[in-house]
A and B are shown apart, each in its own frame.
Chain A
Amino acid sequence: MVFAENLISNLFYGALLGSIYGVATMGLSLIFGVLRIVNVGHGAFIMIGAFTAFWMFTLYSLPPVAVIPIALVFGLAIGFIAFQAVIRRLVDAPELSTLLATFGIGIFIEELAKLVWGADYVGFSWDIGTLYLGPITVSYSKILAFFCSVLVAALLYLWFTKTKLGNAIRAVVQDREGAVVCGINVNRIFALSFSIGIGLTVLSGVLVTLFVPVGINVYMGGDYTLKAFVISVLGGLDSPWGAFIAGFLFGLFENGSYAILGLIPGVEPFALTRFVAFAFLLIILLVKPTGLLGGGE
């Protein structure tokens, strides 16, 4: 009985966490899909989003939910500037150059943030109550984070499938030369995709604070970068939806396996949950080497 209760609540927590992982990875996948650039500085943009939420709350008492659109616009702007300044020179450049450049951008942003905001761990407290649902105790802000994540993913999906620009981006992902032949301005698509990718990532930083409003620090992005890589590989690298679904599954496995591992005497279940999540990745890749929703390259 206790086991069942644990499993149910952990799967629930896992689903909530997974949705955040999902949105936090979509930007990475989008940028890779369109520009074939791996953004090693990914986590720094999540950090920017978290600090945006923190400052908006601290200075103007704006709840994180209201900061989501602000962060998106802010992220689009940062993405556009980064693209014009650096990334646009790197399309079709050797992989090492793009890795070094995005790594450099990440360090630049982190150090700049440290100069401005300091190295302290900050946080805020936005309480909107707690939900008690059988064995589950969870704050409403986490549930809100979940719904916002799903909404963001759904809106992005609609935009990609129903609008001309969205279709153009998908066309470039599928076949760059073909897209050029069809009259699509590929350079504009590159700029747009990179901006949207960064915008999404900064936005996901706000969702992260909705989920955990403490421990905000200029170096917090590193852990997310690592997980985002794993999740995007799992999802199929160039597919933002794959990333969202993979993030969701990753969260479920990470937290859900805790209840099962806890039954084994003498093990530290938390240390093993990551092992289980990575083993799961390995199995998926063995069965489907291109990831869950990846194209066959």
Chain B
Amino acid sequence: MALWGMQVAKKWINEKHGGIKVGDKIYKVEIKYYDDQSNKEVVKSLVEKLAVQDGVKFMLAPYSSGLTLAAAPIAEKYGVLMNSHGGASDYIFEQGYYYVVQTLSPASKYQTGFLEMIKNIDPNAKKVAMVYEDTEFSRSVFKAAREYAEKNGFEIVFDKTYPKGVQDLSPLLNELKASNPDIIIGGGHFADGQLLASQLAELKINVKAISILVAPALPKFYDALGTKAEGISAPAQWETGVSYSPDAAKKLGVDYFGPTQEEFLQMFKEVSKSDELPSYHAAEAAAAVLSYAYAIEKAKSIKPEDVREVMNNVEFMTFFGMWKIDPDTGKQIGHDMVIIQWQGGEKKIIWPPEAANSEPYYPIPTWEEKEQGKLAKP
């Protein structure tokens, strides 16, 4: 999926954009890749091979936080730029690496957008319950959510974790119910996210809004839960239908670079030779390639150190969203996550307003209403 995304970006740059222009020279993009077998040791030796034998200067990180963390010190050692498109953990960018930059939003942003949305649509909804998986990813997500909530006048009435591989959340949710929250944010990965939603339904815990990590962003979530999924939200790096466009960029006064969403979807079809829709994994990988091309043109140089220097100051938009990094850490600070909500059996983008294709449905229907067949359709 990610590789297809990269190939689409390459195709766009070489064919539509006419290559990367550096002064009066034109460079064509070429992607060299190896199978890392999702193995840290293999990642390390392949990154070394790419840097030393293949002479690659601009690298795309492997998928996942763990593998990106393994690859980063080697890229740093050889002064090769490394762009993370699938490593969300904030921890990667707190190690002091200079040559490692990020294209997707860091883990710490996964639930703050949702709180921001609530603050905007209902300033009276103050009581937040947090219930999440006790793993590295969720802990960093909810640490940031807690800080954001406290700074913005929310009251955290419940803050508890559950272990990985749990079969029954009833005791925890029983306690949560007593805390009487207005909104619930929670989750971790796939199975526990489904379990959480299913058991909130079973215990009839009614709140005004629910946001769960990862699980609701996938169509299987609705297949599994049916109408119980109505109104449930989730953060996503990107969704088909987001409205980042050259016009939107013009309004913000920044450059737009790369294919439009329609072009991306069309080219994705050609490259993948399938009808499968691109997931955000393809979009973020394509955006990473585009960010290299854009920064190289701005730097008028293909030396990694020059491009890295320029990256500190660029701010532009692709179909994936904004791209801007924190100069000190390389962490992505420009890109916004979108928030999706299940509305009438469809996954709609409800936040931020500039990317949305539907209004947030708020407050969500109660579990009893959903049983009667009520949908969260505005």
Contact = CB atoms under 8 A, between A and B. Distances in A.
Interface residues of A, number: 39
Interface stretch (B1-9, B109-117, B224-232): B224-232
Interface in B207-235: 215, 218, 220, 223-228
Interface string B174-205: 11001000000000001110110111001110
A214 interface: yes
Given A13-B171, A123-B225, A215 B195 contact: yes
Interface string B32-52: 000000000000000000000
A258 B199 CA distance: 17
B: contact size bracket = 35 or more
> What is the interface of chain B mostly: helix, strand, loop, or mixed?
helix
Nearest to B199: A212
Contacts of A212: 167-168, 195, 198-199
Nearest to B226: A125
A121 B170 contact: no
A122 B224 contact: yes
B96 to A, nearest CB: 31
A223 B165 contact: yes
Nearest to A142: B202
B172 interface: yes
Given A121-B190, A125-B228, A214-B225, A268 B161 contact: yes
B190 A217 contact: yes
Contacts of A9: 170, 174
Given A17-B168, A212-B167, A121 B191 contact: yes
Interface string A254-278: 0100110010000011110110000
B141 to A, nearest CB: 16
A130 interface: yes
B359 interface: no
B198 A123 contact: yes
A6 to B, nearest CB: 6
B206 to A, nearest CB: 12
Given A214-B198, A270-B160, A6 B175 contact: yes
A137 B168 contact: no
Interface string A124-161: 11010010000001110010000000000000000000
A213 interface: yes
Contacts of B175: 6, 258, 262
Nearest to B224: A123
A78 to B, nearest CB: 23
A85 interface: no
B198 A270 contact: no
A10 interface: yes
B252 interface: no
Nearest to B220: A120
A9 B195 CA distance: 19
Given A122-B224, A137-B204, A214-B224, A258 B172 contact: yes
B122 interface: no
A137 B204 CA distance: 8
Contact of B163 (A127, A137, A214, A270): A270
A17 B225 contact: no
A220 B165 CA distance: 8
Query: What 10 A-B pairs have minimum CB-CB distances, sorted nearest first?
Result: A123-B224, A215-B191, A258-B171, A214-B194, A223-B165, A13-B170, A125-B226, A121-B190, A10-B171, A214-B198
